Chain A
Amino acid sequence: MLEAGLCNYVLITYGHNARSGDSMKKLLFAMSGDDAIFGHFGATAGYAMAARRAMHEFKTGPQTWKQIAVGQRKWANLNPRAMMYKQTMSDRDYDTAPRVVEPFGLYDNCLISDGGRACIVTTLERARDLRHPPVTLMGLGMDNPSADLTRADYLAGPTGARRAGRQALKMAGITLEDIDACQIYDCFTYTVEITLQDYGFFQPGEGCDWLRGGTIEPGGSMPVNTSGGLLSEAYQMGMTPLTEGVMQLMGRCEERQLGPQTKTRNPEIILCSDNGGILQSHACYILRRV
């Protein structure tokens, strides 16, 4: 609409009383098919099945996902807005968490939150006249490879992240080497792994080693989900990663700000993702501070 000249300022909004209302329960029951009588219902079961398949096809599992859950929690502990701001997570906390749907324990699951999030998009020219440093959409990519889990001809990837990521990098004219941080849609820990893997940050099964040593944490070489993400900040859908990418590039993240104070690179380019269904649809955005 902006490109067509029909709009100057587009407001994008999300809001939901998902935690205190009964909407999510209705949605998850509505998603359930005949397989619910065998115990397969809701988003967790779908992602758990995909993750289980991945465990058969390449080296992954809780030892990989623990590094994602614990690493993101360290970012949340720097973010007063995060639901988990005051709750630390140790390796042992992760290991001993109640099981939800195998192979997932509690901390492989995102939060369910009340709240809302909005942002405004305009032309770069108009953006320069406003209050904050503009954050441009440097690259965009989308790929929607299947209609639902049972019709997917993959379970362990490549997901839509493969093509969406390539499109976004091509449009931006950069490579993964140019990315300073990532904000990845993290409905489950496994979603972060398969998304980064399909973008090409590591080869299938190498995620566990890539993550080792705090790669995604404060002080790490590739910070991921610096607000705590859907796992540890709050579930504002894809607005959680998108707006965190924007706030980091604007330099407005206070204690968790990327740069010297968190012993990370000063961010100029941040890659964000969103996905829908059970890994059915995918969007990749590359944001840049100009």
Chain B
Amino acid sequence: MTPKNHNRKQGTIDIKNLCFSYEKDHPVLRGVNISIHNQERFGIIGPSGAGKSTLLLHLNGILYGQGTVRVGGREVNKDTAPEIRSRVGMVFQNPDDQLFNPTVEEDIAFGPLNMGLGPDEVRRRVKETLEEMRLQGYEKKTSHHLSFGERKRVALATVLAMRPEIVAFDEPFSNLDPSMVEQLLHIIKDLPATVVIVSQEIIPVAACCGRVAVLKEGQIITTGPSYEVVRDKDLLRSCSLDLSIYESVCKKIF
């Protein structure tokens, strides 16, 4: 599952002092600052309710908060959102939310068609993406007849067909068996794009991301190389992300 190289523009992300709240007096994001480089694998970890998914929705203008979000130097706002959405692909946590067309191929074609590409180019992209994701033969299948792992792959394919410069994953490792996690790690490693992952699963995030930020109660607590953040047990414990329970279980088993 190695997606082909595609033409890349700048896949940088700059978030400055981003604040957002769904309801008054209940801020979800409180002055978030993040800078992500082109082609980087960047992880954002944090406990449930930390604001990870909300933060992700700001990257392509699904949500707008106070502060600035820049993608490839372009500020994300209502005017630039259509263009930004073709550059930032979003893989949602629940593939069922992402797959709403009657067949797999129509789901994959949905993004490229909305980008205004011609029918031949769309068909070519659908075919290529199906090959890249080893989904040949799935074209006419209905997504709700597939297994969860297959649906996750199709959901990713729907985004990759748009050839985005940035791919943002929301909890990509949840509900996957270990072999699927391994496959996904390979895909993420080989993606010719900047990758942003928000997750509670520290180990796979650390395995594929060079840098990690820890988000807690809408604020970035720390940002640094994955191996350093993962070793900071006090920090993880303070964010309810302590791994020591797994350590003790592993010691007992192995």
Whether chain B is bound by chain A comes out as no
